[in-house]
Amino acid sequence: MTRHALTPASVFDSTQFGFSQAVTTDGGTTIHVSGQVGWDPDSGVVGPDLASQLDGALRNLALVLDAASAHLRDVASLRIYVVEEAAGDLAPIRVGLQRYFPSDPPAATWLVVNRLADPAMLIEVEATAVR
């Protein structure tokens, strides 16, 4: 599988926010990953803030991908859902994405929602990967 991140000079540089404008892939198997949240294996929320919950969600994403014989570098796109109460400062998302996807980051859509399945959840990350 070949994966190539695109951020053309004709649009804003989205890599400063931790994502690419588009990602192309050739060949491989597509993996659709359900929304991952900052829960530990016992369904306990990993922390009260956006940064810790994003870190937990991305760690869980990596674990699910590993079970599918894939890696974070195989992620082509993300859909990130942030609850309204946490949307005032989205910098932790940028920082987290840059840490987990340091080069050629996936395409991404960030959405602000009223709430998630559990009232303690602040963020959920859904992914599509190609292995």
Cβ neighbour number for residue 21 with a 10 Å cutoff: 16
Q: pLDDT over 90 for what percent of the chain? A: 76
Q: Are 125 and 35 a contacting pair, CB within 8 Å?
A: yes
Which residue segments constitute the domains of the chain, with CATH numbers given? 2-130 (3.30.1330.40)
pLDDT at 129: 96
Question: What are 34-65's pLDDT values in tens digits?
Answer: 999 999 988 889 999 999 999 999 999 999 99
Q: For residue 121, which phi and psi values (nearest 5 degrees)?
A: -75, 135
Question: What are 68-78's pLDDT values in tens digits?
Answer: 999 999 999 99
pLDDT at 123: 98
